[in-house]
């Protein structure tokens, strides 16, 4: 049997056909890793970095941390503390936060005590993830600076030094009565004056005689004075 011979052109064509067939049906070594590469989704992180757990806070506190989950819709800040029947809603934000400020908390609006700050991250379906931190609010114990004034020293009056062992006798002054006429109160004189007036009123006859005698005496003195004057003129 005589062997069949192929021309170089036929052999080259046959080799190209085999190469194409192998590359089409056999998986390439580089195709595997490219097919497994996927686009990364949004980072899922929800935490409170500041304030630290069980720390003491006062005044205005910066709450920092991260709020991001797949299908993110919003995050909320809630607070539970003294006098709260249930957690109170404080703040809501529609933007993701990664390692940044979440909320400015003014603790002066709340009384001192233990509080739980809650970060709630909610997705578009209404499902949520939470992170909490417990802190102690102490505003009343904050010392208030006050202006201090330098006290002025008041000099004490000079005293005569006493010799040791010499007792000091304190003499209490006593009231001394001044000798003389003891004044009678006016109220004690009124009864006697009233009695004298009553007696004078009860004796009008005697009063008239006294008055008449006085008038007669006065007239007699006048007549005597005239007589003496007329005799001296002659």
Burial of residue 145 (number of CB atoms within 10 Å: 0-12, 13-18, 19+):
exposed
Domains of the chain by residue range: 45-137, 196-228
Say how far apart CA 227 and CA 129 lie, in whole Å.
147
Q: Is the pLDDT of residue 134 over 50?
A: yes
pLDDT given at position 115: 97
Q: Is the pLDDT of residue 101 over 50?
A: yes
CATH number for the region 45-137 comes to: 2.60.40.3880
Compare 223 and 129 and report the one with higher pLDDT: 129
Say how far apart CA 35 and CA 75 lie, in whole Å.
36
The whole-number average pLDDT for the span 43-50 is 94
Q: Is the pLDDT of residue 44 over 50?
A: yes
* DSSP bridge pairs for 2: none
Q: What is the percent of the chain with per-residue pLDDT over 90, rounded to a whole number?
A: 41
The whole-number average pLDDT for the span 42-62 is 94
Q: Is the pLDDT of residue 11 over 60?
A: yes
pLDDT given at position 21: 63
The whole-number average pLDDT for the span 108-136 is 96
Q: Is the pLDDT of residue 41 over 70?
A: no
Q: Is the pLDDT of residue 24 over 70?
A: no
CB 124 within 8 A of CB 73: yes
The whole-number average pLDDT for the span 138-165 is 58
pLDDT given at position 208: 78
Radius of gyration of the chain from Cα atoms?
Answer: 64
CB 131 within 8 A of CB 47: yes
Contacts of 111 (CB under 8 A, 6+ apart): 82, 83, 137
pLDDT given at position 148: 52
Q: Is the pLDDT of residue 89 over 80?
A: yes
CB 45 within 8 A of CB 68: yes
CB 110 within 8 A of CB 137: yes
Handedness of CA 70, 76, 81, 84 (dihedral sign): negative
The whole-number average pLDDT for the span 200-211 is 70
């Amino acid at each position: 049997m005589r062997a069949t011979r192929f021309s170089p052109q036929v052999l080259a064509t046959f080799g190209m056909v085999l190469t194409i067939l192998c590359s089409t049906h056999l998986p390439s070594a580089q195709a595997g890793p490219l097919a497994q590469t996927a686009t990364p989704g949004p980072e899922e992180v929800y935490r409170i970095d500041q304030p630290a757990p069980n720390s003491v806070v006062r005044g205005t506190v910066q709450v920092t941390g991260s709020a991001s989950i797949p299908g993110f819709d919003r995050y909320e800040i809630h607070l539970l503390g003294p006098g709260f029947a249930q957690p109170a809603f404080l703040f809501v934000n529609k933007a993701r936060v990664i390692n940044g400020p979440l909320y400015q908390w003014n603790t002066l609006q709340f009384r001192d005590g233990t509080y739980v700050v809650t970060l709630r991250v909610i997705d578009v379906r209404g499902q949520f993830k939470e992170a909490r931190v417990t802190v102690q609010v102490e505003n009343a114990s904050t010392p208030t600076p006050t202006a201090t004034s330098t006290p002025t020293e008041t000099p004490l009056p000079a005293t005569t030094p006493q010799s040791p062992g010499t007792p000091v006798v304190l003499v209490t002054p006593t009231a001394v009565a001044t000798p003389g006429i003891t004044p009678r109160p006016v109220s004690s004189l009124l009864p006697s004056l009233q009695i004298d007036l009553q007696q004078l009123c009860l004796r009008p006859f005697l009063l008239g005689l006294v008055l008449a005698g006085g008038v007669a005496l006065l007239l007699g003195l006048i007549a005597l004075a005239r007589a003496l004057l007329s005799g001296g003129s002659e």
